[in-house]
Structure 1
Amino acid sequence: MTAVEVAGWSYWPAPAKLNLFLHITGRRPDGYHELQTVFRLLDWGDRIGLRLREDGRIHRDGPSVPGVAESEDLVVRAAIALQVTSNCSQGADIRVEKRIPAGGGFGGGSSDAATVLVALNALWGTGLDEDALAAIGLQLGADVPVFARGRSAWAEGVGEKLQSIHLPPAWYVLVDPGVHVPTAELFRSPHLTRDAAPVKIADFASGTVLGNAFEPVLRRREPAIEAVFQALSGIGRARLTGSGSGCFVEFTTRAAAEQALAKLPKELRAWVAAGVDRSPLLDALDTTGIV
């Protein structure tokens, strides 16, 4: 996948992700929860438009999420954080073409912010390395570092301790139930398991570790999510991604995924995406020759 240039704008992929499992193993003294998960990047997601400015201003060309003020938008905050860290005097116009549904647990906002960091680092020539970009990303959100590093990964801590992982080819039927529950509310649920026993990568690779700590909470709380799980049970084992409402079923071939998709009720918002180990954003950077 390459970056696209149109009328002074360059366009960059911001891929979605899945959490192939998610366990909460404890709580830190600062109140944050320790977790274990596998982030799987996808070949589908949002697209970020960037146009450089010489006046140093960061301007959002339309909202990336309705109702979010420009100063609070993660893509704007990402650009400003990169400016400050690198002491860069250049600016940028930022445009977000949304495909990833908000609140689905597919990582849209975090991926958008990471794409702004990584692409502007190249376009501005600020020269920060992957570790530095991931560190900036962590200030913006726990999921931003995995997108900034651009590889599917085993994650621990609050999601910032990442180890690249090779995953077999897979295709996914994804469903967006259209439900958005604030993560803070889910963490307050008495039905949330917060003390799962830590597991190892080998446990996940063997197929014995699946499941998402938020699944029973959301299925109990939201009838729309329970209805999607019931619909997906006819094509395979349904899973939840992140702390959002997004659901998925994994397949070993695209053909199998497409056939399963065709069996689902037409009223579901469902589609197929492929898992990738390397972010399409890194592929786009490679084609530009500016890094």
Structure 2
Amino acid sequence: MLYVKAPAKINLTLDVLYKREDNYHEVEMVMTTIDLADRIGLSLRQDGKIVLSSTDQFVPTDQRNFAYQAARLLQQRFKISAGVTIKIEKEIPIAAGLAGGSTDAAATLRGLNVLWQLNLTLDELADIGAEIGSDVPFCVYGGTAHATGRGEQIREISAPPTCWVVLAKPKVGVSTADIYGGLNLTQVKHPNTQEMLQAIEQCDYKAMCRELGNVLEDVTLKLHPEVVKIKSLMERSGADAVLMSGSGPTVFGLVDSEIRVSRIVNALRGFCEDVYAVRMLGERHKLA
């Protein structure tokens, strides 16, 4: 069986510029991968079937699953007669704003590129991934990127300053469509994406912390007081900067001191189960 790592992502900035004619939103984001990852196992089948299983009972195992869609798309596009058994070993919490489904699809694309000997480039895989979901192209590349369009136009940038990332996900479900639907673009405070890009380029940790921003955060905070509590608790416990990732409900804190990481994690564990302390990965994926 071929195993592929599928890391989660966080948004250091997430800005929504306007609603497009195709009903997507025009966005501008700075994203980076973190060392919280699912593991995707792929094994060749001779019967042409796509069979998917997951260690998390709440993950769909049919055509609703992005990894399943990725395999079907490659199979149809390149007229592959072989099938695949896909095993998703979940570590990333689902519906968390961490691109769990998208990164599973991206890892499936990268893995099947090897298993089915397609010899596609990362750029070609990212283009295919864009047909599945807006976050899939970034997850194909990994590393750190400036994303525009509906999120599928990816420009690689330098790795951020090294630090710890503490994540906490409350037990609430968040609908991305509902959060975008509740957004009033005439009232939001837009993050300064250019300042964030400059902070990363100059490896300036304090400036990176200062420029964190997510226009979706206020919408989610109004709907889910649990997210407000986690954000407040993280700030009081000593995180250098705190932000919600994606449409939520996961909140992350940046911390440059390992001693403070333990204190923050312990404080959060009394409030919610899904708490993680990880590092940023920073580096792009390489083709096997």
* Structure-1-length-normalised TM-score: 0.86
Q: Per the alignment, in what secondary structure is the counterpart of residue 70 of structure 1?
A: coil
1:30 aligned to which of 17, 22, 32: 22
Return 234-243 or 257-266, whichever deviates more.
Answer: 257-266
Q: Does 1:268 align with 2:272?
A: yes
- Once residues 171 and 219 of structure 1 are traced to their aligned partners in structure 2, the CA distance between those partners, rounded to angstroms, is 24
2:173 aligned to which of 172, 177, 180: 180
TM superposition shift of 1:257: 2.5
Q: Per the alignment, in what secondary structure is the counterpart of residue 28 of structure 2?
A: strand
Task: Label 1:266 to 1:73 Cα distance change in 2 as closer, same or farther (>3 A).
Answer: same
Give the conservation status (yes or no) of the 8 Å contact 2:10–2:32. yes
1:217 aligned to which of 211, 216, 219: 219
TM superposition shift of 1:138: 0.5
TM superposition shift of 1:153: 0.5
Q: Per the alignment, in what secondary structure is the counterpart of residue 94 of structure 2?
A: coil
Contiguous gaps of at least 5 residues in structure 1: 1-8, 286-290
- Once residues 57 and 21 of structure 2 are traced to their aligned partners in structure 1, the CA distance between those partners, rounded to angstroms, is 32
One-letter identity of the residue aligned with 1:186: I
1:34-113 aligned within 5 A: 34-62=26-54, 66=58, 68=60, 70-113=62-105
1:111-260 aligned within 5 A: 111-166=103-158, 167-189=160-182, 191=184, 199-206=192-199, 207=207, 209-234=211-236, 235-236=238-239, 237-260=241-264
TM superposition shift of 1:205: 2.9
| RMSD (Å), alpha carbons | 2.2
Q: Per the alignment, in what secondary structure is the counterpart of residue 13 of structure 2?
A: strand
Return 232-241 or 201-210, whichever deviates more.
Answer: 201-210
TM superposition shift of 1:226: 1.2
Partner deviation per Cα, 1:177-214 (whole Å, 9 max, x = no partner): 12212111112215566876685534543435322111
* Structure-2-length-normalised TM-score: 0.87
Task: Label 1:151 to 1:80 Cα distance change in 2 as closer, same or farther (>3 A).
Answer: same
TM superposition shift of 1:25: 1.1
Task: Label 1:181 to 1:19 Cα distance change in 2 as closer, same or farther (>3 A).
Answer: same
Give the number of aligned pairs.
275
TM superposition shift of 1:42: 0.8
Partner deviation per Cα, 1:21-42 (whole Å, 9 max, x = no partner): 1111112111111111111101
Match of 1:4 in 2: none
Task: Label 1:146 to 1:47 Cα distance change in 2 as closer, same or farther (>3 A).
Answer: same
The sequence identity of aligned pairs, in percent, is 32
One-letter identity of the residue aligned with 2:283: R
Give the conservation status (yes or no) of the 8 Å contact 1:102–1:180. no
Contiguous gaps of at least 5 residues in structure 2: 200-206
Match of 1:5 in 2: none
- Once residues 221 and 251 of structure 2 are traced to their aligned partners in structure 1, the CA distance between those partners, rounded to angstroms, is 11
Return 109-118 or 179-188, whichever deviates more.
Answer: 179-188
TM superposition shift of 1:66: 2.1
- Once residues 219 and 142 of structure 1 are traced to their aligned partners in structure 2, the CA distance between those partners, rounded to angstroms, is 23
Task: Label 1:57 to 1:64 Cα distance change in 2 as closer, same or farther (>3 A).
Answer: farther
2:283 aligned to which of 278, 287, 290: 278
Task: Label 1:193 to 1:47 Cα distance change in 2 as closer, same or farther (>3 A).
Answer: farther
TM superposition shift of 1:63: 7.3
